[in-house]
Structures are given as structure tokens and as C-alpha cells.
Structure 1
Amino acid sequence: MIVETSIVDLKNNLKQFKKITLDEMNSVALLKRKDTKFIINISYLPEILEALKNSYKVLEIDGKRIMNYSSLYLDTPDFKFYHDHHNGRINRTKIRQRKYVDSNLTFIEIKKKNGKGETDKFRKQIADFETELSQKSKDFIFKITNNNLDLQPSLWNNFKRITLVNLESKERVTIDLNLSFSIDAKQKVYSKLVVIELKQAKFDRTSEVVKLLKSIQCNPYSISKYCVGATNLYQDLKNNLIKPKLLKINKLSL
């Protein structure tokens, strides 16, 4: 398969990077941050990694530099979180459970976006995925959101991630590929789409990543993996504002 061949090639690209451990990366945790996303076809990724190899370190865990992630998004029965994002609500929330598969760690994570475009992230470790929330998880969600929310599993998301760290500018870059979304028996896979996310204390256009992506006509692009997956798998959801993004994503994924 083309995707598997590409991942083998990427592993060879990543051998040129110096490594950083999970403990060392904690100094760039950036739980309060500005997130800036970009989308590209996977064919551009080897060129991008080659250009960044001397300025960034790559996260390595147990000898692996391409990690496996699995997420379970939660939403209300009427999809409040999805609609808040779709309708452009400035202050909005997303709640998910995420398993860092290679570390065998699972967290319940709450991301709150404010009117300044900043994202606050709160998380609490749990034993494993909870399709029915434990009382401790419900208490944690209430503490952060101040709401008794009726939550249910709405979307599974699996992907592979490369994490680059620039300690000098306190910046992280996550590169997500081989994205798949599923719920019940429905599934959507984006095998050639890559989502690059720049995480900084505040957006800095002088970042090497921003300049490099601009050189290949790739500019910041607002995208929610959750909304993309939900729109694909729930045909009755309002999606008129997301549909143009899906067209671009589908074109990039060819």
C-alpha cells in the first residue's frame, strides 16, 4: 500500500533528527497556547522533514518516532459541541478521551477555546476508555465546565503522530497522518491527508515551520478533526459551513 510505503520513508527521514524524551518535552507542554493548523498531502512531508531536521528534535518513546493515538470524542445527544464549532461560537468546548497507545496512557481531555483564539487544555488520567463515564470523570468535567452535561460517545478517531520540538522558541509541531474516523459500523479514512499543528504561546509568523509551509503555498487553515469526522459519518448534521473545507480536504487527499 502507498501509505505504508510512505510511512517507511518517513521513518528514514526521522532518523536524521536528534531525539527528545517525553520527560524533556514537558518543558514545552503548552497547556495554554495558540494552535495554528495546516493541511497538506503526505507527498510533501519528506521534503518538510528534511528542511526541519537541524532545528527541531523529534519525540521518541521506546525507539518509536511515529506514535499511535486513539481518541473517543464525547458530545451531547443534540451535538452541542459540534454545532458550537460549526456555528463559529467564540467560546467553545470539546471533550474527548485520548489514549497515547505507545505510552499506554489514557486521559480525559477538555479543550476550551476563548475569544482571543487561545486554547486551554485540562486533562485527567483514567485507566482506559470509558464509553460510560465514571463518577470521577463526571466530577472532573463538571469542575472544568461548571455544567452537568449529558455526554455520550460520538466519534472514534485513530491516527499516527510525529511530534517535533523546538526548545529555543518553546514551540511544538504535531504532524498527524493516516487519519480514520468511525462510529458503529461506519468509517471514513484519509490515508493521504496530513494535518500539521503548530502549538505556541502566541502565533509567531517567523517560525521556521510557518515560513517553510508558506513557501509551498500552504497557509494556516482552520480545521477540526472532530467536525470533519462527524460530518462524514452523521449525514443529518448541519454542515453547510464545513462542506467547502471537506471539498478541499478531499482534493488534497487524492
Structure 2
Amino acid sequence: MAPEILNILYSFNSVRLEEMDRVKLMDRYDTKYLLPANRIPDLLKLMLGRYRVLEINNERISSYTTVYLDTPDFTCFNQHVTERTGRLKVRFRTYNTTGNSFLEIKKKTKKGRTVKWRIENSPSENSFNATATEFIKTRVPNDPESLKPVLENNFKRITFTGFDTSERITLDLDISYASPDGKSAELPLVAILELKCRGLAARSPFSKLIKQFSIYPTGFSKYCIGCAMLHDLPLKNILKPKILLLNRIENEYNGSLSA
């Protein structure tokens, strides 16, 4: 991690994990932004004094590992790229900083909200136990036994919350992917910024703040991009505009280094 980022991060007021319970936001609106990773220091300076940063075990940057599950014909991926109402993601997520692992289900509602459910579980288990099976059956139309690991995603995350607002902002970086057949890909030059709030993003203080930074909302799924990069799927060309956007951001990063 760049020393400049760490220096700025430790200038923020911190918030403990227990205090973040009030902004878990398991039912929320999501808004995502993409930016070159070398613009992170300027973004942090803009946020300094307005937001607190999550600190766990004296660390302000946390490591995550996500294992996404899908059917043999990639039902979840197909529903996402075609923007089907009620689309789902099923995943194991391990919070490496704390060691906690959860089986999580995310659903996009017809009103555009993201709803998330989760139970404690581990991706190291070879099959779903009775609790996990019932958890999936009550929320996912697919047979739990048809869901298999198709993509691993590793990244680092910085989490912010306001002093007196219910919004949460996450900044993901050092993003990498691996498939079960041994393929891998990385997005080291791109950062993903996400605003999570109970109400519409347009009313969020952060949404107004980020306009000063000249980056704009864009739909983006780490899962779908990873699948498009590592799997030969019929519908992956739908994501070509997103791949081109990633290329432009990487070119902007490289261009700023050579300027």
C-alpha cells in the first residue's frame, strides 16, 4: 500500500466495528463509481474531516476473500448482465482481518434496492449443511446442490461512515480474480467506490461531495466482470462497454505517470 494513502488514512477519526452496526444497511440503495487508483489520495483528502474510517485490530485497510457460487449454466451471471429484476448473487465472504466467514445472498429488488441476507458459514466446507441448505432454499429458486464455486475474488477495502449520517462508503482496491480451472486476472490500477445508503443517493451528502471530484456513477459488478475476464460465456459481450471503461481508467493511470 502506498505510504501516502496510509498517512492520510491515519489522519481520519476512526470508528469501531461495533459502532458500525447502526449502518449495516442490509436493505439499501447502492451507487458505484470507478476511478484510477492513483487518485485515491486526492479523494481521501476531500473526505478528511467529513467521514470516519473503520479500524479493526489497529488496521484501517481490511482484506476480503469472496467465493461466488453459480449454476453450471451461470444463471446468476446471466440474470445480472441482462439486468433482470430480482436477480441474485450467492457467495461466501471471508473477512480476513477478523477471520469471520459468511454465506451471503444479495438480491436486487424491482425498486432498485439491494437486500442482503447472511449466516455464518465457511467456504471450506465441501457441501452445505442443513442450516445453509434451508437458508438458500427460502431465498433462491435454484437447487442448492446446483450451486458451485465459479469465481474467487480478493480485494482490500477501506470503509467510511459519516459522523451523523447513516450512509456508508467503501473503497475497494488491489482487486484480483481466480477461477477453479486456474485462470487469474487483476485490476491493480482501478479502485471501486461504493455509496450505500437507506434513501436515494441523490440526497446523500457524499453524492454531493463526490461531484467536486468529477467522477460519476456507473453500474459495476465485481462478480460479472471477473466472470467475463475468466470464463467464456455467451453473454459476456454485454459487458464490453464496462471492459472498455476499465481500459480507459488504466490508460488514465498510466498517462498520469508518464506526464
TM-score bracket for this pair, using the shorter chain length: over 0.9
What CA distance in whole angstroms lies between the structure 2 residues aligned with 1:229 and 1:154? Answer: 10
Alignment of 1:95-114 (within 5 A): 95-114=90-109
Q: Which moved more, 1:197-206 or 1:104-113?
A: 197-206
Aligned to 1:242: 239
Do the aligned residues in 2 keep the contact of 1:131 with 1:153 (CA within 8 Å)?
no
Do the aligned residues in 2 keep the contact of 1:231 with 1:237 (CA within 8 Å)?
no
Do the aligned residues in 2 keep the contact of 1:106 with 1:125 (CA within 8 Å)?
yes
**Superimposed CA distance per residue, residues 42-88 of structure 1 (whole angstroms, 9 cap, x where no aligned partner):** 11111111111111110000000000000000000000000001111
Amino acid at match of 1:204: A
Alignment of 1:175-214 (within 5 A): 175-183=171-179, 184-214=181-211
Amino acid at match of 2:198: A
Residue 148 (structure 2) pairs with residue 148 (structure 1) = no
1:147/1:82 Cα in 2 relative to 1: closer, same or farther (>3 Å)? Answer: closer
Q: Give the alignment's Cα RMSD to 1 decimal.
A: 1.5
Q: Secondary structure of the equivalent of 1:145?
A: coil
What CA distance in whole angstroms lies between the structure 2 residues aligned with 1:17 and 1:231? Answer: 37
Aligned to 1:125: 120
What CA distance in whole angstroms lies between the structure 2 residues aligned with 1:36 and 1:113? Answer: 13
What CA distance in whole angstroms lies between the structure 2 residues aligned with 1:241 and 1:166? Answer: 36
Q: Where does the alignment leave 5 or more consecutive residues of structure 2 unmatched?
A: 252-259
Q: How many residues align?
A: 249
What CA distance in whole angstroms lies between the structure 2 residues aligned with 1:175 and 1:234? Answer: 26
Aligned to 2:217: 220
Do the aligned residues in 2 keep the contact of 1:97 with 1:129 (CA within 8 Å)?
no
Q: Displacement of 1:212 after TM fit?
A: 3.3
Aligned to 1:60: 55
Amino acid at match of 2:79: D
1:80/1:147 Cα in 2 relative to 1: closer, same or farther (>3 Å)? Answer: closer
Amino acid at match of 1:61: I
**Superimposed CA distance per residue, residues 179-206 of structure 1 (whole angstroms, 9 cap, x where no aligned partner):** 0011131001000110001000022325
Residue 161 (structure 2) pairs with residue 165 (structure 1) = yes
Q: Secondary structure of the equivalent of 1:54?
A: coil
Q: Which moved more, 1:201-210 or 1:227-236?
A: 201-210
Q: Which moved more, 1:203-212 or 1:113-122?
A: 203-212
Amino acid at match of 2:159: T
What CA distance in whole angstroms lies between the structure 2 residues aligned with 1:239 and 1:173? Answer: 28
Q: Secondary structure of the equivalent of 1:240?
A: helix
TM-score, reference length from structure 1 = 0.93
TM-score, reference length from structure 2 = 0.91
Do the aligned residues in 2 keep the contact of 1:231 with 1:239 (CA within 8 Å)?
yes
Amino acid at match of 2:242: K
